[in-house]
Chains A and B, each alone.
Chain A
Amino acid sequence: MSMAQHAEPAVGTTPPASGPRTTDGRTARRPLALRLLARPEVGVFLGAAAVLVFFLAVAPSVRQGSSMATILYQSSTIGIMALPVALLMIGGEFDLSSGVAVISSALTASMLSYQLTLNVWTGVIVALAVSLAIGFFNGWVVVKTGLPSFLVTLGTFLILQGVNLAVTKLVTGNVATDDISDMDGFDQARKVFASSFDVGGVQVKITVVWWVVFAAIATWVLLRTKYGNWIFAVGGDKESARAVGVPVTFTKISLFMLVGFGAWFIGMHQLFSFNTVQSGEGIGQELLYIAAAVIGGCLLTGGSGSAIGPVFGAFMFGMVQQGIVYAGWNPDWFKAFLGVMLLGAVLINLWVSRAATRR
């Protein structure tokens, strides 16, 4: 190519100088308190603390260690599922089937082990495969069709609900599965999923430990790994993420499968706690998980949130659920409380984030 005829373009060619490390001086640093308040998990932490203080005041029995262990246990059963549901929400999708998927998993393990007289671990492994497959199916359909995950998982929700009932009746002739507590490997599996241990004379359920462990892993993955970066990216702007080389399909499908994993874990916990599974249960639980994630500061439209927020969100739920009992009130009020909390949390989050980001 000949550059002889190259006329000088009008714009100067010296690259802009990189000056000393100065700031451009247009952004004043906000006070620490405001910066903290802008973080979604701080708002929910304050909310959880307020609920705790409230029930400590009105229900004296909450102050005992054993009550606190029960509250934590209750929170953990919601919290373990709220974690993957929150990650999925940050990734920009919902899973309405997560509540009944828990029961599907438990039914699979229970019936397979019992009917074929296998070691329960076989059932547990197959249930894991089934749960991951349900998650994969949800994710695959959402990604391939581009339909809203609300619709797709509403479909899965109805399918699973029907299949749970119908297959259980077909196999056992009953709406519940048979007791598997005397089968091979039951005690071992119970140790993993549903045992208790002693802390200073108080029986603490092992799910509380799992909850903390999963929350720590989820937080680390979300903030410190490539995959976490991808979750924020696919939830924030899917097309942009694809354009810069983020594997969007893989990220979304794996998030749905992560919810499947959570459903499997809670399903196994229920199975090994109660020895049998009621096939009609689990309906409505998915909304609790989603509510815990939203109260925990996850943006419903995706792209923002944390893993620690839903931990406090789930704790708030567990606290209210048990607190009402300890306070001697009619437990029928629980859902009403939940609704008020959800609305309140969302409004406070909105107000706080606006106030904190504006000035």
Chain B
Amino acid sequence: MTDNKAAAHGAVLADTPPAGEGALVELRGAGKSYGNIRALHGVDLTVHANNVTCVLGDNGAGKSTLIKIISGLHQHTEGEFLVDGRPVRFSSPREALDKGIATVYQDLATVPLMPVWRNFFLGSEMTKGPWPVRRLDIAGMKATADEELRNMGIVLDDLEQPIGTLSGGQRQCVAIARAVYFGARVLILDEPTAALGVKQSGVVLKYIAAARDRGLGVIFITHNPHHAYMVGDHFSVLRLGTLELSAERAQISLEELTNHMAGGAELAALKHELAQVRGVDTEELPEESDLTAPVATSPEGNT
């Protein structure tokens, strides 16, 4: 049964060293056009085990398109998409899941009215008994869900409560715990902290770190450079559908990252215009020369 295999796989992963030196997921010059609209082009991205790759970008920068390609909702129209070094083209999220790529969507893909444990196993239910009376292994699922949630540090009083009654942060954590349990090797998080308060964002960032330490490659999509810098190992900034920046953690400071996020070069140009206007303090804005980080090059050189 695939469910149980996936489950066992997830448990084993925790203490297995990252497989090989190759990238789990790699994009080479990937792009996507919808008709005559080029939503994404020339994007390079590598995801390694035990690593958090942050993808930053303003609204409309192409972040959603990027994760839709990796998670199997859409197909790329240019470039290459490799999983474990082999080119792939997913036609459904199920295929991506089978390769160990799990996505935690912004809306979390949970059903609000259903109990926590049913949500945890939705789509991959544990069953017992022969076919005509094959039934849900409710005790097993509740125990497993409780165990997994506790491993991620989430303590819930009542797994029977509808997941809609949990707070945003808790729901996020349940979704992450679910992905980790079902054998994800690559975890895509779509703006997990966007709708959360300060404290809850901290909790979610902690689980991102926990997931990374369990050996997963994490793709963390956000438009908050501060959150990204807390957990990230590699940063890619998207702008207008293409890479504006790709840098290792050691190559870039939070300030530079923030500047790139905020519009970088454009902002520097804007500064000169604003300097003409009275009452605008331009002292704090960055100069173009401040933006020293390498732009859109792969520092790892293994492409």
**A contacts, CB < 8 Å to B:** 1-2, 5-7, 9-13, 15-19, 22-27, 220, 224-226, 228-229, 232-233, 236-237, 239-246, 299, 303-304
Contact = CB atoms under 8 A, between A and B. Distances in A.
Interface stretch (B107-115, B269-277, B287-295): B107-115
A304 B107 CA distance: 20
A23 B157 CA distance: 5
A276 B302 CA distance: 79
From A2, A22, A26, residue with most partner B Cβ within 10 Å: A2
A1 B300 contact: yes
Contacts of A245: 93-94, 97, 123-124
A94 B137 CA distance: 30
Nearest to A301: B113
A11 to B, nearest CB: 5
Nearest to A357: B165
Interface string B149-163: 011111111100100
A222 to B, nearest CB: 11
A26 B161 CA distance: 13
Contacts of B110: 237, 240
6 contacts: A15-B151, A24-B155, A24-B157, A224-B135, A232-B114, A232-B118
B124 A9 contact: no
Contact of A9 (B121, B207, B230, B302): B230
Contact of B249 (A9, A226, A242, A303): A9
A121 to B, nearest CB: 24
Nearest to B203: A16
B248 interface: yes
A303 B113 contact: yes
Contacts of A228: 136
B223 interface: no
B248 A5 contact: yes
B90 interface: no
A198 B215 CA distance: 68
B136 A229 contact: yes
Nearest to B21: A1
Contacts of A19: 150, 155
A10 to B, nearest CB: 5
B184 to A, nearest CB: 12
Given A10-B229, A224-B138, A245-B93, 10 more contacts: A13-B210, A18-B151, A19-B155, A27-B158, A226-B134, A233-B111, A236-B113, A237-B112, A243-B109, A304-B113
B213 interface: yes
B122 A246 contact: yes
A12 B213 CA distance: 10
B125 interface: yes
Interface string B186-230: 000000000000000000011111101110000000000000011
From A17, A242, A304, residue with most partner B Cβ within 10 Å: A242
A23 B149 CA distance: 13
Given A9-B249, A18-B153, A243-B93, A236 B114 contact: yes
A268 B108 CA distance: 46
A225 B155 contact: no
B250 A7 contact: yes
Contacts of B209: 9, 11-13
Nearest to B146: A21
Contacts of A22: 155
A31 B72 CA distance: 46
Nearest to B103: A243
Contacts of B134: 225-226
From B94, B109, B229, residue with most partner A Cβ within 10 Å: B109
Contacts of B21: 1
A23 B159 CA distance: 11
From A2, A15, A22, residue with most partner B Cβ within 10 Å: A15
B258 interface: no
Contact of B111 (A11, A220, A236): A236
Contacts of A27: 157-158, 161
Contact of B300 (A2, A25, A226, A236): A2
A26 B155 CA distance: 11
B282 interface: no
A356 to B, nearest CB: 13
B250 A5 contact: yes
A229 B250 contact: no
Interface string B94-130: 1001000001010111111110001001111101000
B232 interface: yes
Given A1-B300, A15-B213, A17-B153, A246 B123 contact: yes
B70 interface: no
Contacts of A12: 206, 209
A11 B109 contact: no
From A224, A236, A244, A303, residue with most partner B Cβ within 10 Å: A244
Contact of A224 (B136, B155, B207, B249): B136
Nearest to B98: A245
B156 to A, nearest CB: 7
B111 A303 contact: yes
B250 A226 contact: no
Nearest to B127: A226
B52 interface: yes
A220 B153 CA distance: 34
Nearest to B50: A3
Contact of B114 (A16, A18, A24, A233): A233
Contacts of B125: 226, 229
A245 B113 CA distance: 18
B52 A229 contact: no
A152 to B, nearest CB: 24
A11 B206 contact: yes
